[in-house]
Chains A and B, each alone.
Chain A
């Protein structure tokens, strides 16, 4: 695997293996990977590959909420995640769950209070709290819904609320599990824009996402999971240029599929993954004629 020293890595996972209580099979098996501080990483894989489970181990939900046996190690800045204090963990890591309905506390009467809930738990001061809440509600187009009950929101609005309430916590490491599954296309772009903004602040972002055309424009590397195992951890172009990529049931960016179909590679020998790369490649071809 990569030769990046695990010492300098913000997150380092070594030989991580995990099985849910009573489950027949392991959901994660011998995973080793490291993520440098400030990197953006995509996690991809077919349904049931173990993406959410990996998110749970990174955020400490495993083993605190989901029990079961963990083998190997998972460290943030050299400190073991499974034994780290909860106070420290919630400051360091924020997780946006795959299902926004699970994220909502259910205890709060308004959208505004729902965002405030997490901040109060962190002991953030009132003025700063209000400022943070206003910022995220505006950022995700929820400000006019601030006095509504979360259960009166549309599906996409609820997902926006789930993202907003985690972003407001300003964690050092942000993990998003399919955060855009119910968002309209502009909302999806806004989430990715927010991520690239966080990146400039040095925040480490880990995102599970099926919309590869967007994903490849924002992440440094992609971890491809299959059957609980790490198949490959590399740059998007290397991941999607793998000859066996179709075997993992994940598909590929439509631009890559198109170029493979047309037999077109970039000068570096890999297939294009993004819109811009494909435009460059195809308009070059048009001009030669």
Chain B
């Protein structure tokens, strides 16, 4: 007997999707209904888990989680940087609804500010300590965000996407070709963050990546608390209203330009911080660190996790950065999987866009916005 494979009919698919949706909603509901202390306990457990994660005594029991092809602690540092950036980009894309395609450009501004002001290979030889440069780096990225945003955020539409894309490319080209930014040769001997153990050894050394990871993790927590408070305030309401309907927001008296600029600049500042942390750990910064692809990955991570939702951004940023590293050192049918990492990444994204366009852990409002859009499409047909 021959059977032709029938594509699942829409109703069946809808039924499966419904069941999935209900499962997730049940989990979400249980989480909301759980007593306060349970939620705090779970949160505390998660935080403790992530602080413990880079210790070999701990992660060796975690089965397939540690990366076979790379030092797991190093990988965790990279992942943490991505998470920090995803949280920052989520303000821009998720809350204010601004499409920033060149977010990594701000990371580069942060990293290069540190490099230029601290490294002995820099032309200006200021040789400042790392800690002193961090606020400068953050301020400079914010200024570049304001400079980029002021002319473009007044305009509607896709100008911002184009301008940010151009900005990131400009930074990259400057890094590759200008003598001041040293191109491939790069900057070396960038100082580490300060701090010594009681026995006089520096906390932030060359070999052990754990202190850097812990530092970034701590900063992530601080930033997340800050962002959360912001989103529950008038500022957050203004951002959401702009994202949902910019004209209507203005008609309600929201100074839309000001708030868009704020979202854009605070997102930039967080990327600048991430860049400064990166430079402080790496000891060496050159033009290879800033490929355009990184901007796209970060953006994809935020959308993947569920833009507009802080937890979604964290999970998205973490998972995407981790998965890319996880492929390293795995061979399948003689193919090095790492070489094909972006292919998988692309496939996953396409799948997401089809089945779950609102992201893994969507924002409640965002989900409603999607429903609304779908209605509009049906009406227009």
A, B assembled together: no
